Amino acid sequence: MYIILIGNYPNDQQESMLRFSETLHQGLIQRGIACTKIAPQARWNKSTNAQPNKWLGHMDKMCVFPKTIKETLAKHPRALVHVCDHSNAFYTKLINDHPNLVTCNDMLAIKSALGHFQQNPVRFSGRVLQGLIMRGLQRAHAITCISQKTQQDLIETLKISREKTSVTYMGLNHSYSPMPKDEAQLKIKTLLPELFDSKRPYILHVGSDAWYKNRTGALHIYQALQLATRSEDRMVFVGPPPNKLMQILIKNYKISDRVFFIEKASNEELCALYSNAELLLHPSFEEGFGWPILEALACGCRVATTNCAPMTEIGGTAAQYIPKLDPNETKDIASWAHNCAAHIAGMIAQDPDERKALCELGVAQAKKFSTDTMIDNYIQLYESIISA
C-alpha cells in the first residue's frame, strides 16, 4: 500500500488543515506505511502580505500544481490518493484512475454558495469555485467526513449515496491537558499584562470572525448575564480584533473595560486560558467539527455550546447546552441571549464538587478523540478502499 496525501496551499493560512495533513503524514510513516505528501507551493503568489493575492493563489493551485500531481502519480502508479481537505476536491479530476479518498470537513461554504444561509451571501466567483468543489466531491471514489453532521449534510446537499461515505473523527492536534493554576495564571498575565487581572474569573470564546462562529451572539449572552447576575466575570475572545458590529455592541453595552481580545495564542497559551477559564462559551450557528470544544474539555474546562450537531457529537454528556439561534432569524436575539445567560449563570453557580465532576467528565470525553485512533481509522479506510 502506497499513499499520496494532497495537502493545502500554505499561503491560504489554513493552519488546522496544514497541521492535519502533516500529523497524518508523520503518523503513517511511524506505522511503516509508505507515503508521500504533496501540496501546491507559492510560485506565482510569493507575496509576504498578511492577505496574499487570491487570484495568483488560484494560479498556483490550478495551473502549476496539477503538473506535480501527474508527475507524482507517474512515479507511484498503484498508489491511493487522499485529498486531505475537500476544498481541494477539484483535483479528483486528475486522480480518478487511482483509488482515492477525500476528507470533507464541513459543508458550510458549499451550502452558502447554494443560498442556504442568508447571513453569508457568496459572490459569483465564490459560487464558481464551490461548483468545482461539488463536482470534485461527486467524482471521488470515497468521502470520509469529520462528523456525522457533516456526513448528513453531504448526503442531503449533493445527493451522494451513504455507501460512498464514512465518518472519521479528528484527533487532537496538540497534547492539551489541564494546566496547574499558578502556571496558567502566569501565562495569562503575560498575554494581557495591564488589561487583565488573571485572578478575576472570565468566560472564554475561541474562534475566528467567520459568520457561523456567532461572536456577536457571545457578546449578547455576556451582556444578558451581566444584567441578570451582576457577575464580576470578564469576557475574553481569542481570535481577530472585534469587527464593527462588535465594537458598536461593546460601546453601547458599556463593557469595554470587561471585554478583552487576544489575537494570537500558542497552543501552550490556549491551554492556560482553557485551564483557568470559568467556562468556554461556544454559541456557533454551525460547525464542521468544533475544535475549541474538544480542546477545552481536554484542559478540564467546562463548555457551554449550542444544542445541535456536531457540537453535541463532540461534547457528548460532558458539555452543557444552550438553545440554538437560527442564523436567518435573529430578530429576537435579546430573548435568546436571556435564556442562554440563565444556563451560564447555573454553571457559574455550581458547587466545587459539581464543577470537578464535570471537568473530569470533559477530560474523559476528549480522550475519545485521540490522534492515534484517527490514524488507525484512516489506515483501515485505505485498506477497505484498495480492496473494494
Residue 382 above 90 pLDDT? yes
163 near 141, Cβ under 8 Å? no
Q: What is the pLDDT of residue 145?
A: 97
Selected from 3.40.50.2000, 3.50.50.60, 2.30.110.10, 3.20.20.480, the CATH number assigned to the domain covering 2-171+370-387 reads 3.40.50.2000
Digit-coded pLDDT (tens) for 128-162: 999 999 999 999 999 999 999 999 999 999 999 99
Residue 20 above 60 pLDDT? yes
Same fold across 2-171+370-387 and 181-366? yes
Residues 6+ apart with CB under 8 A from 30: none
103 near 86, Cβ under 8 Å? yes
Average pLDDT of the segment spanning 221-241: 91
Which class does domain 181-366 fall in?
A: alpha beta
Digit-coded pLDDT (tens) for 302-357: 999 999 999 999 999 999 999 998 766 666 898 999 999 999 999 999 999 999 99
Phi/psi of residue 101, nearest 5 degrees: -140, 140
pLDDT above 90 coverage of the chain, percent: 79
54 near 42, Cβ under 8 Å? no
283 near 307, Cβ under 8 Å? no
pTM over 0.85: yes
- Domain borders along the chain are 2-171+370-387, 181-366
Digit-coded pLDDT (tens) for 69-95: 999 999 999 999 999 999 999 999 999
